[in-house]
Chains A and B, each alone.
Chain A
Amino acid sequence: MLSYTVRRLLIMIPTLLVISFVTFSIIKLPPGDFLSNQIAELQSQGDRAAMEKVEFLRKQYGLDKSFLEQYAVWVGLWPGERGFSGLLQGDWGWSFEYDLPVGQVVGDRMLLSLILNFSVVLFTWAIAFPIGVYAATNQYSWGDHGLTLLGYVGLATPNFLFALVLMYFANVQFGLSIGGIMDPEYLGRSWSWAKFGSVLTHLWIPVIVIGTSGTAAMIRRLRANLLDELQKQYVVTARARGVPPLRLLLKYPMRMALNPFIADIGNLLPSVISGSAIVAVVLSLQTSGPMLLEALRSQDQYLAGSFLMFLSLLTVIGMFISDLLLAALDPRIRLTGGAAK
C-alpha cells in the first residue's frame, strides 16, 4: 500500500495545482472585478473615504498586479503586500460584498451545510440499504415491483419541484411555513441548545426533499450490483454447501456490491458542503450553496474562488480516500482493463 499511497499523492499534487489555476482563471475571466464596479459607483457618488478603502483593498489583495502574480499570491506561493498570505497560510481572502474575511463569512453556513447534507447522506443510506437488499433478494416479487415504481418516481422528480409542491401543500393545507433551516430569531446568533433544537425541527423537510432522488438512485444501483453478485459461481457453490443465507449474503456479495458506493466518496465529500444549492434557494435555507451562487454572480472573487478551491480539495481528498479503500478492500486485477506489468 505504500507504493499505492505515494503514487496517488504524487498525482494529487499537480492535480490540485491545475485545479487551483483553472479555478482562479474562471473567477478572473469576466471583465472587471467587484472593486472596479464599486469604484465606478463611488466615483459617481463622490465618496472619498470609501474610495480610499477600495484603493487600499485593491493594493492589499494585489488586484493591480499581473494575473500570474495574483494567482501565486492567492494560493500562497508568492509573497504579497502582507508577505505570504494565501490559501496555504489559511488566509481565504476578503469578501468584498460582505466586507469581512471569507473565513468569517462562510463559517456558520459551512456548518449548517455540513449538518444538512450529512443528515441527507445518513437518510439516504438508512432507507436505501434495506430496500435495495430486499429488492435484490426478492427479485420480481410484489414488494420489488412496488419499490421499483417508487424508486422511478423519486428519480424522475426534480428536487426543486418536490420542494415547491411540499411548500405549497404545507402552507395551503396545514398553514405551515417550512422554509428556512431554523427559526428567524436564531439567525446570526451564536450557537445554543435552543438554536440547535430549532435546526433539528426544520431539518426533516430539506432532508426528505434532497434525499429522495439520491435514495431512489442508490436503491436501483444496489439492487443491480447485488443481483450481479448473487448470480456468480461462488455464491451458487456456497449456497450448495449449505452456508446460511444471511451469512452468505453479508460475507461476499454485499461487500462487492458496496464497491461503487465506496468509489462515490469522492463525490460525497464536496456535496456535503455545496450540494443542493437550488433546493436551498427554493427553501430559503441559510446554507453555503446559495452563498456560492451569489458570490459567482457578483464577482466576489475571493469568496467564490476559495469556495470552489475548497470543494475541489474535498473532491480530490474524497477520491484519494475512496481509492485507498477500494485498493485495500478489493485488490483484484481487472482482466478487461489490461495486464499487469
Chain B
Amino acid sequence: MIRQHRYGRSALALEGAQGLAGLAVALGLLLTTRPAGPVIWVLAAAAGLFLVYFGRAVVRSLTRIELDERSIRAWGPLETVIPWDEMRSLRLNHYSTKSDRSGGWMQLDVRGARRSIRVDSSLNDFAALAAAAGREALRRGVPLDERTRLNLDALGIALHG
C-alpha cells in the first residue's frame, strides 16, 4: 500500500513569510545604510541563508513524500528514492528555539547509500511516517541511536528489538 504525505499549507506559508521577512531586512539594511565591510559580509550571508530558506519552502510546496513496503520516495523538484534495503541510518531529532526546549519541531533523516531524505514534523501525518520508517529500520537491522529512540518514544512510537 502506498502512503502519501505533503507539507501543510499554513506551515509552508509561515516558512515562506519568515524567509521573505529575513531577506527583506537583510537586503534593506545592505542597500540603504551603506554598512561597514564586516557588516556587509554578515548581512550578505544572512540574506543568502534567508533566500535558501525561502527556496526550500517553495520546493517543499511542490514535494510529496511516498512510502510503501519497498522504498521511501520524495516526488518533486529534488526527486529522491531510497529503497529500504539501502537504508544506512535513520535519525529523528528534535529542535526548539525556546530556552526550556518546549514546543519546537522534529526532523526525520533517512539516509541511503548515496542520497538522503529529510522531512520535518510539519508534514501531514508525520508520526505515522516516522513509525513506518522506524519499523523498516528495525526490520533491516539499521542501528538507531539513543536520542532517536527517545524521540520516537516521545511520539508514542514503541519499537522493540
> Which A residues form the contact surface with B (CB < 8 A)?
1-11, 13, 76-77, 83-84, 88-90, 234, 252, 323, 327, 330-335, 337-341
Contacts and interface: CB of A to CB of B under 8 A. Distances in A.
Given A331-B95, A332-B150, 13 more contacts: A3-B95, A4-B97, A84-B33, A89-B36, A327-B95, A331-B147, A331-B151, A332-B94, A332-B147, A334-B101, A337-B96, A337-B98, A341-B105
Contacts of A5: 49
Contacts of B106: 333, 340-341
Given A8-B97, A337-B100, A341-B121, A88 B49 contact: no
Nearest to B46: A9
Contact of B53 (A6, A76, A323, A332): A6
Interface of B: 15, 18-19, 21-22, 25, 29, 33-39, 46, 49-50, 52-53, 56, 93-98, 100-107, 120-122, 146-147, 150-151, 154-155
B39 A4 contact: no
B150 A76 contact: no
Interchain residue pairs A-B with the least CB separation, the first 9: A90-B36, A337-B102, A331-B93, A338-B102, A333-B94, A334-B101, A333-B154, A6-B53, A88-B35
A89 B151 CA distance: 45
Contact of B103 (A90, A332, A338): A338
Contacts of B49: 2, 5-6, 9
A1 B56 CA distance: 13
Nearest to B156: A339
A255 B58 CA distance: 38
Contacts of A11: 97
Nearest to B93: A331
Contacts of B122: 341
29 contacts: A2-B49, A2-B52, A2-B53, A3-B95, A3-B105, A6-B22, A6-B49, A6-B53, A9-B22, A9-B46, A9-B50, A10-B21, A11-B97, A13-B25, A84-B33, A84-B34, A88-B33, A88-B39, A89-B36, A89-B39, A333-B106, A334-B101, A337-B98, A337-B100, A337-B101, A337-B103, A338-B103, A340-B154, A340-B155
